[in-house]
Structure 1
Amino acid sequence: MHPDDAVRVSRLDGPAAARAEDLFRLVYAEAFAEPSYRESAADVEAAFRRFRTHTAAPSFRGALATAGDAGPVGIAYGRPLAADTKWWEPLHDRTTDDDRREDGRRTFGLMELAVRKAHRRRGVARRLHDALLSGTGAERAVLHVHAANTAAVAAYRAWGYEELATTRPWPGADPHHVLLLPLH
């Protein structure tokens, strides 16, 4: 049996994800320390302050992949964009009013998806992605991906995501592609 045959993907609500924060943090810290992200310990700490805020939202969804003795091997999480979201503001000049229309259910924002290096290219990311989005009722999913992360960009495009724009999602950020996936 291949080691990844034993990978188990569990979908978690906010409270369950909050209880599993250490597992999410372990995967996140390892995956995002690599190029092209090169996140520091301070960056990880900031990400997990936001994680705690996200998990408190009733609409939060997470997915955790584990593999026996290997422990956590992958994570994914996100939530629907709120009707009053500021998410689209950096893209205002490159999107239409309809692109930016939100009602709290229309668009699922995929915030993070990461797999530890030893378990990549084995379908774990796709399983996490599908578990996270299954049953959301959303019309579409949206995400930012670092433009230099060519493997992730290629995977998302293979899964049907289309590029909506390229942006710098926060001041000082490297370029990120904004990708959109129709779900219906």
Structure 2
Amino acid sequence: MVFHKKTLIRHPKYIEGESLVSYTYRLSKENRYSGITNLAKNLNCPSSQINKNEFNHSMIRRLSQLSDNPIENLKSGSANTIRLMLGDTLYNHMIQRHRIKYCPICIEKGELRHRWYWSFYPYTVCLEHSVLLIDRCSFCQSYIGIKDNKIHKRHYRSQSCEGCPLREHCTKAAGNLEVIVSLEWLCYQK
């Protein structure tokens, strides 16, 4: 099934400072889709391009039509807008493209929105909560990513996960068990 304007029931507003990859996952979730594959087809791009937050002008225009959000608001959340401001050389040295950083307090509150400015390597603190941003589990060091509406691939090797902001939401078990925690489940628990 491909997204069409008339099939999108809900149009969540873009939140200032949010990355477009975060917004597209919220848009898909609000419309009860399991991931971003259908939205990627409608934007005429691979899902990987969305996951890298690389939205070109035609994708942003189409996303604006689907979501009833102004193009100018959406443009600010795209990595391509940042690339245009910085230039390719500086962009390649300043932007973390293959990992996503989160605020652990935002995660605990169920506010799983990625901010575009957290993609800058030097940006290490959530200014709202004055805590260090995380990009991996503090216990096992597995990276946290945004994919398929989940905080993805959490590997635990023991019962102890002290310091992990997702600990109370995870099913823990001895051994090398992969646990995937659904964003929807986390949000609705609060």
| TM-score, normalised by the number of residues in structure 2 | 0.30
| TM-score, normalised by the number of residues in structure 1 | 0.31
Please say which structure displays the higher CA radius of gyration.
2
Report the structure, 1 or 2, having the larger strand content.
1
